[in-house]
Amino acid sequence: MNFKIVKCLIGLGLLLLAAAHNCPAAGEVRFHDGVAAYEAGQYDTAAQAFRDSLAKQPASGTLLDLGLAEWHRGRVGEAILSWEQSAWLDPFTRDTRNNLLFAREAAEVNPPELTWFERASTWLPANFWTWIAGGSLWLAVAMVTLPGIFRVRKAGWHQTLAALAFGIFLLSLPPSVGIITRSNIGIILEKNTPLRLTPTREAETVDSLPAGEPARKLRERGDFIFVHTQNGSGWVERGQIGFVCRE
């Protein structure tokens, strides 16, 4: 009896796996809906479909297309943010770099100011640096400790591989720190966004920020974020800025 139950459960599991394999993912379906809407010139519908797809399955290509839809809607800040997020996931796509260059020139805004270690962190996709740092550290530790644990004579190649792995770990630390600090970079979404002196809606306006302006988050208070921009520092409302690192 128990054997029959096990067979039934295994069969049910195989059926579910087959159904999941044959049924396209919801994110992929919404992505194709967005492509069809974009080609038909229905940019509002396309943007919503791409957002639905990203909620199910984040992908740099979807962010690239979302940026195009937002650009055609006249939402410059949203377009630049989407392309920055696409570059965060995949910095090798030429279309993303070209779109950012064109959009910034058209909007007359500058790219984010990056430190040397933040610039190094853009050489690879953001999550790659975490894998490199973690993997190289564990490899170095394994080469040092495992021969003793398994009572194997430590050979020269163990030490060489441990030194190499530890060197890679050290080299990956600055870009890993750059990923953390870059996560505080945001993009102003709306044109003429007020940069306020204090975190209140009644506060004096220090400056008006254009859509697409990069801003670095320094601290938060309630519904306001204190940012540093190339035009100065001040408070903006939370809904007026989107961050490059998607949560």
Does residue 85 sit in the same domain as residue 177? no
**71: domain range?**
2-107
pLDDT of residue 14: 42
Does residue 210 sit in the same domain as residue 161? no
Report if residue 214 sits inside a domain. yes
Does residue 216 sit in the same domain as residue 173? no
pLDDT of residue 11: 42
pLDDT of residue 247: 63
Report if residue 156 sits inside a domain. yes
Report if residue 113 sits inside a domain. no
Report if residue 128 sits inside a domain. yes
pLDDT tens string, the chain, 247 residues long: the values are: 444 433 433 443 443 344 344 445 778 899 999 999 999 999 999 999 999 999 998 999 999 999 999 999 999 999 999 999 999 999 999 999 999 999 999 999 999 999 999 999 999 999 999 999 999 999 999 999 988 888 888 888 889 999 999 999 999 999 999 999 999 999 999 999 999 999 999 999 999 999 999 999 999 999 999 999 988 999 999 999 999 997 6
Report if residue 112 sits inside a domain. no
Cα separation, 211 vs 108, in Å, equals: 10
Does residue 66 sit in the same domain as residue 158? no
Give the chain's domain count: 3
Does residue 122 sit in the same domain as residue 74? no
Report if residue 7 sits inside a domain. yes
| Best CA proximity match to 32, nearest among 57, 56, 49 | 49
Predicted TM-score (pTM) of the model is 0.85
pLDDT of residue 97: 95
Does residue 190 sit in the same domain as residue 177? no
Report, in angstroms and rounded to the nearest whole number, the Rg of the chain calculated over CA atoms. Answer: 24
Among the residues of 90-155, which ranges form H helices? 94-107, 116-121, 126-149
pLDDT of residue 112: 95
Does residue 86 sit in the same domain as residue 172? no
Does residue 203 sit in the same domain as residue 156? no
Does residue 190 sit in the same domain as residue 205? yes
- For residue 95, count CB atoms less than 10 angstroms from its CB and return exposed for 0-12, middle for 13-18, buried for 19 or more: middle
Between strands 241-243 and 185-188, the pairing is: antiparallel
Cα separation, 234 vs 226, in Å, equals: 5
Does residue 89 sit in the same domain as residue 139? no
CATH code of the domain covering residue 234: 2.30.30.40
The partner residues of 154 in beta bridges, in order of sequence, read none
| Best CA proximity match to 147, nearest among 138, 137, 139, 155 | 155
Last residue of a domain, one of 151, 181, 211: 181
pLDDT of residue 8: 38
The 3-state DSSP class for residue 118 equals helix
